[in-house]
Amino acid sequence: MSKARHSTLRTSLVHLALITYTLVALFPVFLTIINSFKSKQAIFGQPLRLPGPSTFSLIGYETVLKQGDFVTYFQNSTIVTVVSIFLVLLFGAMAAFALAEYRFRGNTLMGLYLAIGIMIPIRLGTVALLQGMVAMGLVNTLTALVLVYTAQGLPLAIFILSEFMRTVSDDLKNAGRIDGLSEYAIFFRLALPLVRPAMATVAVFTMIPIWNDLWFPLILAPSESTKTVTLGAQLFIGQFVTNWNAVLAALSLAIFPVLVLYVIFSRQLIRGITSGAVK
Amino acid sequence: MGSLELRNIRKSFGAQEVLKGIDLQVKDGEFVIFVGPSGCGKSTLLRSIAGLEDVTTGTVLINGHDVTVTPPAKRGIAMVFQTYALYPHLSVRENMALGLRQAGTPAAEIDVRVAKATDMLSLEPYLKRRPAELSGGQRQRVAIGRALVREPALFLFDEPLSNLDAALRVQTRVEIARLHRQLAATMIYVTHDQVEAMTLADRIVVLNSGVIEQIGSPMELYNRPANLFVAGFIGSPQMNFIEAARVGEAGATIGIRPEHLSVSPTEGRFRGKVIHAEHLGADTNLYLETETAGLITVRLFGEHRYAPDDIVYATPEVVKIHRFDENGRTIAS
C-alpha cells in the first residue's frame, strides 16, 4: 500500500465531495418529510425548522388517510410497479440471452432495434398510445399502465443485460446442455442467477421512473379506482388553493414502498456480487 | 462401451470453413488425442462430436448409431471443460447428480453411481461444498466426477489441464491415465500441449487448419512424421529444418531433431558458435549459429559446460535424418 493512496488530504477531499453530494440529494426528501409533520402556518413560516411542540401536526396525514382512497392508490402503484419490473426483467433477460447466446441472421440489427428505444422518449407516442388503448378498451385499467411501462423499460434492460449475458461462461451452458437441461432451464437455472447483480441494477433503474410517473396515469388511467399515488396526491393541488400538508404527507408516504423495494434489490445486488461464479 | 466414427465432417462459420472433411475411426477403449495449434479446429471438432455444434455436412456415429442430429444429452457422451464449468449454486454432490436426475434415473441408482465416482476421485470430504469453496484441482476432479457418473460411451476432454498450475497438471494427467486404464473407456481429448498428447494418447490426431495432417501412435509421429508440419509440431525443442541444398543432402528440406545431434569442441559436420545455452540439469539445450546450416538447436543429455561464444561442431546421426520433398511431404527412405 503506497502512502499516496492513503493520504488523509486526498481521502478527506473524496469524502467531502461525497458528503456534499449526499446532502444535496437528500435535502428535498428531508424537507418534504419534516414539513409533512408541521402545521400549515409552520410550513410557510419556518420551512427549514424541525417540527417542534408548537408546530407539530399530523393534519396532513389525517387528511390523506380520510380524503380520497389512498390505500387503493398505493395498491395500484405497487401492482403497476411490481408487475412492470417483473415483465421488464423477464422479457429483457430473455431477449438479452437470445441476443448473446444464439447466432442468427440479423442478430446485430435486432439488438440495435431493441436498444434504440433508449434514445426515443416514449411520451412522444402518447397520442398513438392513447388511441391504441381506447381501441383495445384498456383505458382506465392498470393493464394499460403495465403495458406502457414494460415497453418503456425494456430497451435499457436489454441493453444492459445483453452485455452481462455475454459474460456467462459458454462452457457452463454447454455443460448444462450435456446434462440434458433444456434451453429454458439453462436460462433460468444457470444464466439468470449469474446475472443477478445486473438484474438488480436494471430493476432499480426501471422502478423509480415508473413509481414517480404522473404522465401516463393521468392520461391512460385517471379513474378513481386506477389512480396511482402520484396522481392521487394531485387531488390536493388545486388551481387556487393547495393543501400542502396533505401533499407533503402523501409524498412522504410514497417514499416508503419504493425504499423497501430498493432495499430488497440492493441486497440481491450484494449477494450476487459475492457469490462465486465459474472460476 | 464406445466407438466413434466420423465421416467427412465439414463445418463452416459463415464463409469460413473451419473443418475441411474429417474422417476418423476410434475403437472401443481407445484414448485418442487431438492436437494442433490454436485455431486449427480441434475444439470445434470435439464440440461437433458432443453435439454442441451442428456439423455443416458429414456424419457422426457413436457405437454405430448415427447421432448427427441427436441432442448432446442423448448421445451417450460426457464432457470435461477447460473452465470446469461447475454449476456455481449447486453442491458437489448435486453437480454430479444433475445429469442423471434430468435423465430420470432412479434415486438409488444415482446414489450408487455418485458414491462410486466419489470413491474413485477421493471427493468424499467435499460432497456438501459449493464449487466456490474448492481449489482449482478439486474443481477439475469434480468436473471429471460429473462425467464419470454418466457412465458414457465416450468421454470428451476439452483442454482439461490448461487452467491448472504445472505441478497439479502432472498429477491430474497421471490421474486421467489411471482412470482410462481402470475404466477401459473410450476417451477423446483435446490439447495444444504436445507433452500431454505424447504421454496420454494411444493415438494422436494432428490437426492443422481444419484438416488431419497425420494419425498415429505417439512414437509413430515422433519417428515417422508424415510431413513438415507434424515433424515440427511433435517433439520439444522443435526439430531443426535445414535447406537440403545448403548441406549437400537429397530432397528439399532435411529435419534433424535436437536430440539427434552430438557436439564436439574439436571436429564435426556443422561448425558454429553457441549463442545461448540453457542448463536444465537433466538436459542442456544449445542454440548454435552455424556457417552452413543456419540457426540450429542441440539437445544434450546431462550437464555440459558450454557458454555463449564457444565454437563447437555439431554432427547429426545419419540414420535419424528426416527428408522432405518440396511440398513438405516426407520422402520414404
Q: How many CA atoms lie within 13 A of B231 on its CB side?
A: 25
Taking only the tens place, the pLDDT of each residue in B206-222 is 999 999 999 999 999 99
The span from the first CA to the last CA of chain A, in angstroms, equals 27
Residue A84: enclosing H or E segment and its boundaries? helix A70-101
ipTM of the complex: 0.86
What is the predicted pLDDT for the residue at A60? 84
Query: Under an 8 A CB cutoff, do B99 and A180 touch?
Result: yes
CA angle A173, A177, A178 (to 5 degrees): 120
- CB burial string A112-136: b at 16+ within 10 A, e below: eebbebeeeebeeeeeebeeebeee
- Chain A nearest-CA distance from B104, in A, is 10
Determine the residue type at B84.
Y
* B102 vs A: CB within 8 A: yes
Question: Under CATH, to which class is A68-274 assigned?
Answer: mainly alpha
Chain A residue with CA closest to B96: the answer is: A179
State yes or no: pLDDT of B144 exceeds 80.
yes
What is the predicted pLDDT for the residue at A6? 66
Of B52, B84, B99, the CB nearest to A174: B52
Question: Which of A55-59, A181-185, A190-194, B61-65 is the least confident region?
Answer: A55-59
Query: Under an 8 A CB cutoff, do B81 and A175 touch?
Result: yes
What is the predicted pLDDT for the residue at A271? 61
Confidence of residue A48 (pLDDT cuts 50, 70, 90): confident
Query: Under an 8 A CB cutoff, do B87 and A178 touch?
Result: no
Chain A contact residues (CB < 8 Å to B):
169, 171-172, 174-181, 189-190, 193-194, 275-279
Closest CA to B72 of A238, A179, A106: A179
State yes or no: pLDDT of B293 exceeds 60.
yes
The span from the first CA to the last CA of chain B, in angstroms, equals 40
Cα distances from B20 to residues A60, B10, B285, in angstroms, run 79, 5, 38
pTM: 0.81
Report the percentage of chain A scoring pLDDT > 90: 41
What is the predicted pLDDT for the residue at A276? 46
What CATH number does the domain located at B237-324 have? 2.40.50.140
Burial of B177 (0-12, 13-18, 19+ CB in 10 A): middle
* B81 vs A: CB within 8 A: yes
What's the rounded Cα separation, in Å, for the pair A259 and A204? 10
Query: Under an 8 A CB cutoff, do B52 and A276 touch?
Result: no
Query: Where do we find the cell 447421432?
Result: B67
What is the domain partition of chain A in residue ranges?
Answer: 1-57, 68-274
Of A174, A181, A189, the CB nearest to B85: A174
* B14 vs A: CB within 8 A: no
Task: Yes or no: say if A125 and A167 are a contact pair by the CB < 8 Å rule.
Answer: no
Measured N-to-C along each axis, helices B166-183 and B107-121 cross at an angle, to the nearest 10 degrees, of 130
Q: How many CB pairs under 8 A join A and B?
A: 76
Report the percentage of chain A scoring pLDDT > 70: 94
Q: CB count, 10 Å around CB of B184?
A: 10
Residues in B closer than 8 angstroms to A279, CB to CB, are 83-84, 136, 163
Question: Which of A191-200, A217-226, A238-247, B299-308 is the least confident region?
Answer: A238-247
- Chain A nearest-CA distance from B214, in A, is 29
Query: Under an 8 A CB cutoff, do B78 and A278 touch?
Result: no
Task: Yes or no: say if B299 and B258 are a contact pair by the CB < 8 Å rule.
Answer: yes
What is the predicted pLDDT for the residue at A272? 53
Confidence of residue A4 (pLDDT cuts 50, 70, 90): low
B110: Cβ contacts below 8 Å, ≥ 6 apart:
B97, B100, B101, B149
Chain A residue with CA closest to B85: the answer is: A172
State yes or no: pLDDT of B95 exceeds 50.
yes
Taking only the tens place, the pLDDT of each residue in B5-63 is 999 999 998 889 999 999 999 999 999 999 999 889 999 999 999 999 999 999 999 99
Q: CB count, 10 Å around CB of B277?
A: 18
What's the rounded Cα separation, in Å, for the pair B298 and B151? 46
Confidence of residue A234 (pLDDT cuts 50, 70, 90): confident
Please indicate whether the domains covering B4-227 and B237-324 agree at the CATH topology level.
no
* B135 vs A: CB within 8 A: no
Report the percentage of chain B scoring pLDDT > 90: 82
Chain A residue with CA closest to B146: the answer is: A179
Cα distances from A101 to residues A169, A183, B80, in angstroms, run 10, 10, 21
Confidence of residue A8 (pLDDT cuts 50, 70, 90): confident
What's the rounded Cα separation, in Å, for the pair B1 and B27? 10
Query: Under an 8 A CB cutoff, do A178 and B78 touch?
Result: yes
Q: What is the rounded average pLDDT of the residues B220-227?
A: 94
What's the rounded Cα separation, in Å, for the pair B162 and B153? 24
Confidence of residue B198 (pLDDT cuts 50, 70, 90): very high
What is the predicted pLDDT for the residue at B277? 94
Confidence of residue B69 (pLDDT cuts 50, 70, 90): very high
Query: Under an 8 A CB cutoff, do B77 and A275 touch?
Result: no
Q: What is the mean pLDDT of chain B?
A: 92
What is the domain partition of chain B in residue ranges?
Answer: 4-227, 237-324
CA B21, distance to chain mean position in Å, is 20
Instruction: Check residues A25 and A239 and name the one with the higher pLDDT.
Output: A25
Task: Yes or no: say if B288 and B274 are a contact pair by the CB < 8 Å rule.
Answer: yes
Confidence of residue A279 (pLDDT cuts 50, 70, 90): very low
* B4-227 maps to CATH 1.10.760.10: no
| SS3 at position B255 | strand
| Residue to test with chain A: of B11, B48, B89, most A Cβ within 10 A | B89
Taking only the tens place, the pLDDT of each residue in A24-34 is 999 999 998 98
Query: Under an 8 A CB cutoff, do B52 and A177 touch?
Result: yes
What is the predicted pLDDT for the residue at A96? 95
Interface of B with A in 145-164 (CB under 8 A): 146, 158, 163
Chain B residue with CA closest to A180: the answer is: B73
Confidence of residue A277 (pLDDT cuts 50, 70, 90): very low
| Residue to test with chain B: of A179, A184, A195, A275, most B Cβ within 10 A | A179
What is the predicted pLDDT for the residue at A3? 53
Of B77, B83, B131, the CB nearest to A169: B83
What is the predicted pLDDT for the residue at A1? 46
